[in-house]
Structure 1
Amino acid sequence: MAQLHTTLGPMQRDQLGLILPHEHVFVDLRTPDQPGYAQADAADVVALMAPQIEAIKAQGVTALIECSTGGVGLRVDLDLAVSRATDFPIVVATGNYREPWIPDWVAAASELELERWMVGHLSEGVDDTGVIAAWIKVSAGDDGITPLETKILRAAARASAQTGALIGSHTIKGRVVLDQLDIIEAEGGSANRFLSIHTQEEKDFGLHREVFARGAWLEFDHIGRAPDADVVALVTRALQVGQGERLLLSHDRGWYDPAKPGGGTPQPYTHLVEHFLPALREAGVTDTTIAQLTQDNPFTAFAR
Structure 2
Amino acid sequence: MQLHTTLGPKKRNELGLILPHEHVFVDLRTPDKPGYAEADTDDVVRLMAPEIEAIKAQGVTALIECSTGGVGLRVDIDLAVSKATNFPIVVPTGNYREPWIPDWVATASEAELEKWMLGHLTEGVDDTGVIAAWIKVSAGDDGITPLETKILRAAARASAQTGALIGSHTIKGRVVLDQLDIIEAEGGSAGRFLSIHTQAEPDFGLHQAVFDRGAWLEIDNIGWVPDAENVALVVQSLEAGQGERLLLSHDRGWYDPAQAGGGTPKPYTHLVESFLPGLRHAGVDESTITRLTHDNPFAAFAR
Please report the TM-score for the alignment, with normalisation by the length of structure 1: 1.00
| Residues in 1 aligned to 2:240 and 2:51: alpha-carbon distance in whole angstroms | 35
CA distance in 1, matches of 2:104, 2:191: 30
RMSD: 0.2
Q: Could you give the per-residue CA deviations for residues 147-174 of structure 1, whole angstroms, max 9, x where no partner exists?
A: 0000000000000000000000000000
In 1: Cα distance, 2:231 partner to 2:270 partner: 13
Deviations 1:16-71 (A, max 9, x none): 00000000000000000000000001000000000000000000000000000000
Identity %: 83
Superposed displacement of residue 233, structure 1? 0.3
Matched, 1:279 2:242: no
Q: CA deviation at 1:282?
A: 0.2
The corresponding residue for 1:238 is: 237
Q: Counterparts of 1:102 and 1:249 in 2: how far apart (Å)?
A: 28
Aligned to 1:152: 151
What is aligned with 1:82? 81
Structure 2 counterpart of 1:203: 202
1:246-271 Cα offsets, whole Å, 9 max, x none, are 00000000000000000000000000
- Please name the residue that 2:104 is paired with: 105
Matches within 5 A, 1:173-212: 173-212=172-211
Work out the CA distance in 2 between the residues paired with 1:112 and 1:128.
Answer: 22
Q: Which amino acid aligns with 1:148?
A: L
Q: Which residue of 2 aligns with 1:251?
A: 250
Structure 1 Cα separation of the partners of residues 40 and 112 of structure 2: 30
SS at match of 2:9: strand
Q: Give 1:195 deviation, angstroms.
A: 0.1
User: SS at the partner of 2:250?
Assistant: coil
CA distance in 2 between partners of 1:107 and 1:9 (Å): 32
Distance apart, 1:235 and its partner CA: 0.1
State the 1:208 CA deviation: 0.3
Give the Cα separation in 1 of the matches to 2:203 and 2:13. 37
Residue type at the aligned position of 2:15: L
**1: distance between equivalents of 2:272 and 2:90?**
20
State the distance in 2 between where 1:241 and 1:266 align. 35
Measured in 1, the distance between the counterparts of 2:225 and 2:119 equals: 38
1:135 paired residue number = 134
CA distance in 2, matches of 1:173, 1:281: 30
Unpaired runs of at least 5, structure 2: none
Distance in 2 (CA, whole Å) between partners of 1:241 and 1:149 is: 31
Measure the CA separation in 2 of the matches of 1:33 and 1:280.
Answer: 43
Corresponding residue for 2:212?
Answer: 213
Alignment size in residue pairs: 303
Match of 1:166 in 2: 165
- 1:96 matches 2:83: no
Q: Quote the Cα distance in structure 2 between the aligned partners of 1:151 and 1:222.
A: 28
Q: For 2:253 and 2:240, how far apart are their aligned partners in 1?
A: 32
- In 1, the alpha carbon distance for the partners of 2:285 and 2:45 equals 36
Q: Which residue does the alignment assign to 1:6?
A: 5
The amino acid across from 2:288 in the alignment is T
Superposed displacement of residue 185, structure 1: 0.1
Match runs of 1:53-92 below 5 Å: 53-92=52-91
**Alignment partners' CA distance in 2, 1:235 and 1:60:** 22
Cα offsets for 1:196-218 (capped at 9, x unmatched): 00000000000000000000000
Q: Please give the alpha-carbon distance, in whole angstroms, between the structure 2 residues aligned to 1:284 and 1:194.
A: 29
Report the equivalent of 2:26.
Answer: 27
The residue type equivalent to 2:19 in the other structure is L
